[in-house]
Amino acid sequence: MKKNGLCILFIIGLLHITSCGNETNTDNKMHTDEELLYASEAQLNVLNAAIEANPDDPDLYYKRGDYFFRINNFSTAENDIQKAIRFNDTKYEYWLLSAQIQNELNNGDKALNEGLKALQLGCTEPSLYVLLASCYLDKNDKTSSDVYLQRLISIAPQMAEVSYIQAKQLLANGYTTASMNKFKECIRKDHQNIDAYIDLMALFYKKHQYDSVMPLLIKAKRMRPSQSELFLYEGKFFESINRDQVACAAYKEGLICNPQAIELFLPLSMSLEKQKQYNEAMNYLGKWLEKNPADKNSLLKMAELSAHQNDKQGAITYYKDYLALDSTNLIVQRAIKKLQKELDTPQQEPVYMQPTNNQSVSDSIR
C-alpha cells in the first residue's frame, strides 16, 4: 500500500474515533443490582447514590473504583480505591485493584509493592500473577518474573497474558522476531489487550515497518482513544511520511488527554523545532528535562535553542548542567568560553558556537 493511501486510510479510521473521552451506555436503564456488573451510566448512578447513603462502606468505593478502572479513568479510580483501603486495608481485592491502577499509571514500583501486599493477604487471582510477572520483568528481574509466569501457566495456560509475558521475556533476551509472533498470538487470544498492541507497534516502528503500524494503531485507538502511547505512535507514523504538522497535532492532542504524558514532551519539542517554533519547543523540552534531568542530549539541545534565541546566559547554564554529568567534554567547555566572551563583549555580532562543518554542539558530540 502506498504511503499516501495509508495516510488517507488512517484519517478515515480516525473519523470513527472519539479522542480524550470515554463513551457511556445511556440505553441501559436497569435499576437492579445486576447493573453493577456492567460499566454503564446507570451503574455509576447507583454507586453514587449508594455511597451518598453509606459513605463509610469501603466495598462501595471499591466497586466504583473498579467501574472507573474498566472505563480507563485511572486517576478517579485511584481516588476511590485509596478511600476503600483507608477504611479497610485487609482485603486483597482492594490491593490488587490498586496495584492494577498504579500499573496503568506507570507507577511500576508502587504497583509491584501493592501487588505483593495482595499476595501476602492470600490473593491467588491469575491477574495478580500477570501483574507481578510483568512488574518484575520491567525491573529486569527475569527470575522472579518467571516464578509468577509459571504460577499463571499452572492455573490459566490459555490466558492471552501468558503469551504477552512470554513475548516480553523473549524481547528482553533479544529474540525480536519470536517476540513479535508472541505479541500477535496474544492479540489473537484477546483483541482487547492494549499493551500488546502498543509493544507490537513499537517493534514495527523500530524495524521501520510503518505500514504494519497503521492497522494496529487504528484498532487500538478505537479501544483506548485517550491512551498517550497511541498518540506517540500516531505522531511517529506521520513523521515517517513527512507530515510533520499532523504529527505535531497528534502529540498536542495526546497532551490534552493527559497533560502528564511524559513520553510526548520530547517528540513534541523536536517536532516544534523542525517548524522553527523555538520558544514552544523549549517549553516542552524543559518539561522533559524536569523528569529526566540526566538526559545529556536534551541539555545540549536546550543550550543550543537558548543560544539560538540569543539567550547566552541560559545557554551557558545548560552547558554547565551538562558538564556536571560529563566534566571532560572539551567541546562544551569551549562553547561556554565562547559564549562568555560574547557576553563580555556585547558589541560583537551575536554568534553561538559551531564546532566543525556548521554542526551544532550536540551533533559534534554525538
Q: Tell the residue number behind the cell numbers 536546550, with chain if given.
A: 302
Chain mean position to CA 23: 22
Nearest alpha-carbon partner for 323 in 307, 310, 334, 308? 334
pLDDT at residue 211, rounded to an integer: 84
269/32: higher pLDDT: 269
Q: How does pLDDT run across 154-164, given as a tens digit for each residue?
A: 999 999 999 99
Q: Which three cell numbers stand for residue 203?
A: 517493534
341: Cβ–Cβ under 8 A, 6 or more apart, which residues?
none
* Per-residue confidence band for 2, with pLDDT thresholds at 50, 70 and 90: very low
21: Cβ–Cβ under 8 A, 6 or more apart, which residues?
225, 226
258/248: higher pLDDT: 248
Domain ranges for the chain, please list them: 303-366
The answer to whether the predicted template modeling score (pTM) of the entire model surpasses 0.75 is: no
For residues 187 and 167, give the distance between their C-alpha atoms in angstroms, rounded to a whole number. 11
Q: Is the dihedral of CA 266, 272, 276, 282 positive or negative?
A: negative
Chain mean position to CA 309: 31
pLDDT at residue 64, rounded to an integer: 94
Do 352 and 338 meet the contact criterion of CB atoms below 8 Å apart?
yes
* Per-residue confidence band for 20, with pLDDT thresholds at 50, 70 and 90: low
Q: How does pLDDT run across 267-319, given as a tens digit for each residue?
A: 999 999 999 999 999 999 999 999 899 999 999 999 999 988 889 999 999 99
pLDDT at residue 323, rounded to an integer: 93
Do 267 and 251 meet the contact criterion of CB atoms below 8 Å apart?
yes
Half-sphere exposure of 191 (CA within 13 A, CB side): 6
